Amino acid sequence: MAGNDGPYLNYAVVCEKVLRETDDVLSLIRIIDRATVTIPVAAVPGAGAHGITLPPLIPISFVVGLKSGGFVGSVPIKVRIDTPSGAEWPESETPARFEEGEDRGAVIIFAMQFPAQEEGVYWFTVQVSGEVVTRVPLHVIKNEVTQTVPPQIT
């Protein structure tokens, strides 16, 4: 990070919802490390797979909290997601500004509709000033539910 005087990682979590109260206090609702998505699969006798299936979207927030320690100034915060197959999604970058005071900090909230393209563990990698400070897992489990489609009457 930006020297030994900070900033320091306070927390990094995946959660379902973030509430920011009027007094600027955060509530992280339903912190998760596993998500199960249900995928309906049509079972039509004699029919093959037709059309394009879009990946299910999981509404989540990835939240990173940092404390300044002795650091004052601005640093880049990058978050990258690695898929279970090892592919890297494009990074998200945002600056974090730290005021004077060891207990002062910054909170970055990445709200997203997470596309669960693959089953397995996705890794959220957090970099501060180019240095990896943590990796947070999200295990996506796909639950395929077969739906029988009644035959069409003509």
Determine the Cα–Cα distance for residues 88 and 127; give it in Å rounded to an integer: 14
Look at 117 and 39; give whichever has higher pLDDT. 117
pLDDT of residue 62: 97
Look at residue 103 and give its three-state secondary structure.
coil
Tokens of 111: 């709200």
Q: What is the mean pLDDT of residues 67-87?
A: 93
CB atoms within 10 A of CB 145: 8
Distance of CA 119 to the CA centre of its chain: 15
Whole-model pTM: value is 0.82
Determine the Cα–Cα distance for residues 15 and 31; give it in Å rounded to an integer: 4
Determine the Cα–Cα distance for residues 4 and 46; give it in Å rounded to an integer: 65
Look at residue 92 and give its three-state secondary structure.
strand
Tell me what percent of the residues of the chain surpass a pLDDT of 90: 66
b (16+ CB within 10 A) / e for 34-57: ebebeeeeeeeeeeeeeeeeeebe
Q: How confident is the prediction for the chain on average, in pLDDT?
A: 86
